[in-house]
Amino acid sequence: MSEYIYYGFFYVLGIIFFSFFLRIKTKIKKNKKINKKVYSEMAKKIKEDAKSHREIRDNKL
């Protein structure tokens, strides 16, 4: 009977660790999607700033 308790204990621990692993994995994926969007928006902003600086520089010359 104690063998079943022993196996049950490890079964439950396995489920808990697996759920934590999945939770961490999905959180990392979600962060990657957010970072990708942020980086693309930053690139757009940098492009617009560079364009405006070039226009200002060309108008001064």
Angstrom distance (rounded) from CA 51 to CA 61: 16
What angle (nearest 5°) sits at the alpha carbon of residue 35, between those of residues 47 and 42?
15
- pTM of the complete model beyond 0.85: no
Q: What is the pLDDT of residue 52?
A: 93
- What integer is the mean pLDDT of 45-61? 89
Angstrom distance (rounded) from CA 61 to CA 5: 83
Q: Give the largest CA-CA distance in the chain.
A: 90
The answer on pLDDT for 8 being more than 70 is yes
Write the pLDDT tens digit of every residue in 23-48: 988 888 888 888 888 899 999 999 99
- Two tokens at 25? 């994995």
Q: What is the pLDDT of residue 37?
A: 87
